[in-house]
Amino acid sequence: MDAVVALDVRRRELLPTLESMRAERNQASQEIAQAKRAGEDTAAAIERMRALGERPTRFMLRVFNYLFRQQREVDAAQIHAMREMMTILYVVGRHLSNLTDRVADLEERLESERREP
């Protein structure tokens, strides 16, 4: 569970970076619109926007790859923990079964002692 929380914390840490990139792209888009309205050359601004437009996509791909690798590790850890839990439950179940058998034996002995004068 700690790994899942850590992944969520990391995701939340990365969100401001992504939002900042998106804000830069939106600003560049507004600059292009203003330049077009003013009749100015927009080629440089459009090229800047393309570069900015690719940054969030590349960033998100890196984030998704990171999260995917982490999730595989979490899954492996969860599988390991589940196996350990199943082993523990098996052992506890065996002990409970033994205890149940012993309790039944003791009850039979007590019942037979009560019947004998």
Instruction: Report pLDDT for 103.
Output: 81
Q: Is the pLDDT of residue 3 over 70?
A: no
Domains along the chain? 2-115 (1.10.287)
Q: What is the pLDDT of residues 37-69, one digit of tens each?
A: 888 888 887 887 777 767 777 777 787 777 777
pLDDT at 88: 81
**The dihedral of CA 35, 40, 46, 48: what is its sign?**
negative
Helix (H) or strand (E) holding 38: none
Nearest-CA neighbor of 7 among 91, 83, 66? Answer: 66
**pTM of the predicted protein model:** 0.45
